[in-house]
Amino acid sequence: MSSSISLRSRAIEPNRRAVLAGAAAGLALAGLPAPAFAAGTPELSEFVARITEGAVPLREGVTLAIPPLVENGNSVDVRVAVESPMTEQNHVRWIHLIADKNPFPDMARLHLGPRAGRAEISTTLRLAQSQRVTAVAALSDGRFAMAEADVVVTLSACIDGG
């Protein structure tokens, strides 16, 4: 799963739009309902759609905690919690983190399961610039849920010459 993501996403770097169009064709995005596009930039919804294989994520049940103003994009604390009983029948399979303006938008995927007990993770991300961060959770019933947050990345005052 992750290796196919990295291959596709790595190919995005030289010509993101062209390659995305190709990827989208492969995923039969044509049938994607409009609401998915309403929320973010078209490109971001394409990233999300690629991850959910076209399904429209619910916009509930996911908490994405990230500072709105980041002091340095090199390491940004993020915490994601998903409302889920985390049972065999009903759990979060994974949480995927996207930064649409990073050179490589797919940042990470954290695979959980019923053994986790709770769907709550935190980690440290690298954000190239101010942008929208998206967390997409894949649920065991095949549905997806997501949350987004806008992050302003400030620069450090003294650039390092040493």
Please state the closest distance from residue 76 (CB atom) to ligand HEC, in A. Answer: 19
Residue 99, classed as helix, strand or coil, is: strand
Alpha carbon distance 98, 44 (integer Å): 9
- Residue 30 binds to ligand HEC (criterion: CB under 6 A): no
Binding site for other proteins (CB under 8 A): 1-2, 5-6, 9, 67, 71-72, 74-77, 97, 99, 102-113, 115-118, 120-127, 154-162
Assess 159 for contact with ligand HEC (CB under 6 A).
Answer: no
Query: Pick from 137, 107, 135: which is nearest to 119 by CA?
Result: 137
CB of 73 to ligand HEC, least distance (A): 16
Return the SS3 of 38. Answer: helix
What is the smallest separation between the CB atom of 158 and ligand HEC, expressed in angstroms? 6
| Beta-carbon count within 10 A of 24 CB | 16
Nearer to ligand HEC, 34 or 158 (CB): 158
CB of 162 to ligand HEC, least distance (A): 13
State yes or no: residue 158 binds ligand HEC (CB under 6 A). Answer: yes
Taking alpha carbons only, the member of 44, 162, 151, 140 closest to residue 94 is 140
Select the binding partner of residue 103 from other proteins, ligand HEC, none (C-beta < 5 to 8 A, by kind): other proteins
H-type helices in the chain, by residue range?
Answer: 2-12, 16-26, 35-39, 42-52
Q: Which residues contribute to the site for ligand HEC (CB under 6 A)?
A: 157-158
